[in-house]
Amino acid sequence: MNAVTPLHDTDPARGSRLEALNRWVEEVAALTRPERIHWCDGSQAEYDALLARMQADGTLSPLNRETHPNCWLHRSDPDDVARVEHLTFVCTRERDDAGPNNHWMAPTEAHAKIDALFEGCMRGRTLYVVPYCMGPIDSPLARCGVEITDSPYVVANMRIMTRMGAAALARIEREGAARGERTDTFVKGLHSLGELDPERRFIMHFPEELAIKSYGSGYGGNALLGKKCHALRIASWQARQEGWLAEHMLIVGIENPQGETHYIAAAFPSACGKTNLAMLIPPERYREADWKVWTVGDDICWMRPGEDGRLWAINPEAGFFGVAPGTSARSNPNALATIARDTIFTNVAVTDDNQPWWEGLDDRVPALDWQGRPYDPANGPAAHPNSRFTVSAKQCPTYSPHAEDPQGVPISAIVFGGRRASLVPLVFEARDWTHGVLVGAAMASETTAAAAGKTGVVRRDPMAMKPFCGYHFGDYFAHWLSFDKPGAKLPKIFHVNWFRKDADGRFLWPGFSENLRVLEWIIGRVEGRAEGVQTPIGVLPDTTDLYLGGLPLEAINLERLLSLDHGDWVVELKGFAVHLEGYGARLPRELSEEHMRISADLLHSDA
Ligand SMILES: Nc1nc2c(ncn2[C@@H]2O[C@H](COP(=O)(O)OP(=O)(O)OP(=O)(O)O)[C@@H](O)[C@H]2O)c(=O)[nH]1
Ligand SMILES: O=C([O-])CC(=O)C(=O)O
Ligand SMILES: [Mn+2]
């Protein structure tokens, strides 16, 4: 411990004026025994020094400087490539507050278990103190945290993904000073790579203490604590107490030819199309007619009712931690432009001239796979299916000029969606808020590579928050319902499915850019212009209500995409009823009643 740099230094980049923060850092240092402590100021010089250190020790290697200036490759431990839901815990005092949707451990037991792992784990390493702000630094909706980590890779990623460093520390100090000695103005996140042993790995949340402890993984969702741990699990808990919403949603602005912009927030489960929809480039006909799409956020949305009764949203993040596979000049040219420089790539393959490569990018054959082995198809995909890029949102050509507005952007529509090969039509509209909450609660989707475990299995994922809601889903649904009150001007709620397949397993809908056609109908409904057909599950467009100009009509089976099989829906809703029963007494009665109403409608309408 004697090598630790003094905390109360005259250097403003080191230590804090906030006693509670210094005390916590000292406690953590006493437990983890780092060789030195570094307070991050978020400067370019600091970032460059971190990159140099990681290049020297092999954590990062430079990619082709001509084609990808200042881009880096990180190869993770092969056993550390995704979120680990079975090792992720919400540790509330009352078990029931975490709900059946979370793994739970009593706080005292959880602290004891994970602190035993933290003991002495930073010997010989540097402890980085990373102050960060989730949301624009001057936004009343933004919230701050401090992550302590021994991973320079995490520090570098946090600098891209959050507003990290001196400005965040200043805000933390200001808010702390205003609250006196109380420490609960910022979230305390403690992280160590540990031994990267899957048997010694936990991601633990203590919402009542605004604290996170994560041990044994360097992967994004497990280790960049501002993201899922803070901005979703802890923030959802705070949001419930304070009357706002913290959601797993993209935010996108759609500007029509008249120059009016509607903002849409959309919740799709992990690796189900949020980044792609947020960065959509309009199809040619729409571009010619002067439609524009503006990216506000691609993963997380915090929203709260404004004085005008509308919901106002910010993206708490400052960067994108996006799925690489499938990103191509055809599917998402905007993402390709965004990641052409100053990007960290994790677990992608490389070509023989050291360019990053992944399945779906183009038809080149990579030289090395994500583990650095000569590429051999017998070893599986060249890039890990959950390989990712980390990049500043500012590099996105369509980054919205309003993305940093402190008050956020007003939301016109909320869209839920999943990956469903059958049953679920391309789009439908909920009748009202309560029905919309039920539609969100009923979401189900095929599992993806974003979490460890089997992929392609349909599971319930209410509001795409199954892995991320920091409290009991019954309470969460009640919280959603509570927004419907006098004076509220709530967004309309919709459900989409880009992933319906034909009998041969081919996607029925072209997706990507063409999804704007569906968003146009959604906006038309919001404005009261677009037509639709009432059905028991909600309002669907008729085949003539969607604009298909410029598409090869013979290739698109819109009847099939919009078809409803009442018998199959009755079965679906029965399965959903069983799921709802699992939430017990905390399930709001309005939701069960809404469910019964729709089931009855389905049974009484003809198939
Ligand atoms: N068929 C089809 N595939 C899509 C569409 N949109 C996205 N995808 C694919 O879905 C995968 C994941 O998409 P992303 O947009 O990165 O997912 P995300 O929801 O942002 O994921 P997380 O970052 O894990 O939360 C990629 O391989 C995409 O190519 C679509 O409209 N149609
Ligand atoms: O959490 C992560 O690492 C990436 C992500 O957005 C998700 O899985 O939904
Ligand atoms: Mn996500």
- Which tens digits make up the pLDDT trace of 22-31? 999 999 999 9
Are residues 229 and 123 part of one domain?
yes
| Within a domain: 9 | no
Mean pLDDT, range 308-326, rounded to an integer: 98
- Of 232, 248, 270, 448, best ligand 2 pocket probe by most atoms within 8 Å of the beta carbon: 270
Query: What pLDDT does residue 607 have?
Result: 53
Give burial (CB, 10 Å; 0-12/13-18/19+) of 73: buried
| Within a domain: 575 | no
Q: In CATH, what number is assigned to the domain containing residue 216?
A: 3.40.449.10
Q: Is 459 annotated as a binding residue?
A: no
Q: What are phi and psi of 289, to 5 degrees?
A: -85, 0
What CA–CA distance (Å, rounded) separates 317 from 309?
A: 25
Q: Whose CA is nearest to atom 7 of ligand 2?
A: 270
Q: Is 501 annotated as a binding residue?
A: no
CA torsion, ordered 394, 396, 397, 402, to nearest 10 deg: -50
What CA–CA distance (Å, rounded) separates 237 from 248?
A: 14
| Within a domain: 3 | no
Are residues 336 and 273 part of one domain?
no
Query: What pLDDT does residue 4 have?
Result: 39
Are residues 111 and 217 part of one domain?
yes
Q: In CATH, what number is assigned to the domain containing residue 345?
A: 2.170.8.10
What CA–CA distance (Å, rounded) separates 598 from 245?
A: 26
Among candidate residues 395, 426, 441, the one where a domain is terminated: 395
- CA of 323, nearest ligand number: 1
* pLDDT tier for residue 6 given thresholds of 50, 70 and 90: very low
- Of 227, 268, 323, best ligand 2 pocket probe by most atoms within 8 Å of the beta carbon: 227
Query: What pLDDT does residue 14 have?
Result: 65
Query: What pLDDT does residue 553 have?
Result: 86
Vertex 198 angle, CA 194 and 199, to 5°: 90
Q: Say how far residue 224 (Cα) sits from the centre of its chain.
A: 12
- In the chain, % helix, strand, coil (3-state, to 5) comes to 30, 20, 45
Q: What is the pLDDT of residues 16-69, one digit of tens each?
A: 989 999 999 999 999 999 999 999 999 999 999 999 999 999 999 999 999 999
Query: What pLDDT does residue 9 have?
Result: 38
| Within a domain: 607 | no
Q: What is the pLDDT of residues 142-160, one digit of tens each?
A: 999 999 999 999 999 999 9
Mean pLDDT, range 549-565, rounded to an integer: 93
Helical segments of 119-181, H only: 152-161, 166-178
| Within a domain: 75 | no
How far are the Cα atoms of 68, 108, 496 from residue 62, in angstroms, in the given order? 9, 44, 40
Question: What ipTM describes this predicted complex?
Answer: 0.99
Note the residue count of the chain: 607
Query: What pLDDT does residue 178 have?
Result: 87
Provide the token pair at 399. Answer: 């980054």
Mean pLDDT, range 486-493, rounded to an integer: 98
Are residues 326 and 309 part of one domain?
no
Q: Say how far residue 424 (Cα) sits from the centre of its chain.
A: 23
CA torsion, ordered 111, 117, 123, 127, to nearest 10 deg: -50
What CA–CA distance (Å, rounded) separates 265 from 250?
A: 6
Are residues 284 and 141 part of one domain?
no
Query: What pLDDT does residue 177 have?
Result: 87
What CA–CA distance (Å, rounded) separates 234 from 469?
A: 8
Which of 324, 388, 386, 323 has the alpha carbon at shortest distance from 358? 324
Which H/E stretch holds residue 447? none
Query: What pLDDT does residue 7 have?
Result: 34
- Report the DSSP beta bridge partners of residue 266: 250, 415
- Of 251, 323, 396, 513, best ligand 1 pocket probe by most atoms within 8 Å of the beta carbon: 323
* Residue 462 domain boundaries: 247-315+403-564
Q: What is the pLDDT of residues 93-145, one digit of tens each?
A: 999 999 999 999 999 999 999 999 999 999 999 999 999 999 999 999 999 99
Close Cβ partners of 590 (under 8 Å, ≥ 6 residues apart): 434, 481
* pLDDT tier for residue 179 given thresholds of 50, 70 and 90: confident
Query: What pLDDT does residue 253 have?
Result: 98
Q: What is the pLDDT of residues 347-387, one digit of tens each?
A: 999 999 999 999 999 999 999 999 999 999 999 999 999 99
Q: What are phi and psi of 574, to 5 degrees?
A: -65, -45
Are residues 558 and 437 part of one domain?
yes
Among candidate residues 366, 395, 424, the one where a domain is terminated: 395
Among candidate residues 395, 424, 459, the one where a domain is terminated: 395
Are residues 529 and 422 part of one domain?
yes
Ligand 2 atom at shortest distance from the alpha carbon of 388: 4
Contact between 222 and 89 (Cβ < 8 Å): no
What CA–CA distance (Å, rounded) separates 7 from 421?
A: 56
Query: What pLDDT does residue 8 have?
Result: 35
Are residues 493 and 548 part of one domain?
yes
Q: What is the pLDDT of residues 407-443, one digit of tens each?
A: 999 999 999 999 999 999 999 999 999 999 999 999 9
Mapping DSSP to helix (H, G, I), strand (E, B) and coil, where does residue 251 land?
strand
Are residues 269 and 337 part of one domain?
no
| Within a domain: 109 | yes
Q: Is 514 annotated as a binding residue?
A: yes
Question: Residue 558 C-alpha to ligand 1 middle, in angstroms?
Answer: 22
Close Cβ partners of 10 (under 8 Å, ≥ 6 residues apart): none
Question: Residue 320 C-alpha to ligand 2 middle, in angstroms?
Answer: 10
DSSP string, 327-367: --TTT-HHHHHHTTSS-EEES-EE-TT--EE-TTS-S---S
Number of domains in the chain: 3
Q: In CATH, what number is assigned to the domain containing residue 532?
A: 3.90.228.20
**Exactly one of 272, 301, 396, 469 is catalytic; which is it?**
272
Question: Residue 247 C-alpha to ligand 1 middle, in angstroms?
Answer: 17
What CA–CA distance (Å, rounded) separates 7 from 26?
A: 8
Q: Say how far residue 503 (Cα) sits from the centre of its chain.
A: 32
Query: What pLDDT does residue 182 have?
Result: 58
Has 272 been annotated as catalytic?
yes
Answer yes or no: pTM beyond 0.90. yes
The number of beta carbons lying within 10 Å of the beta carbon of residue 489 is: 12
| Within a domain: 596 | no
Looking at the predicted structure, is the pLDDT value of residue 393 above 70? yes
Q: Is 83 annotated as a binding residue?
A: yes
Q: What are phi and psi of 317, to 5 degrees?
A: -95, 165
Question: Residue 549 C-alpha to ligand 3 middle, in angstroms?
Answer: 33
Are residues 380 and 310 part of one domain?
no
| Within a domain: 79 | no
Are residues 528 and 469 part of one domain?
yes
Are residues 88 and 145 part of one domain?
yes
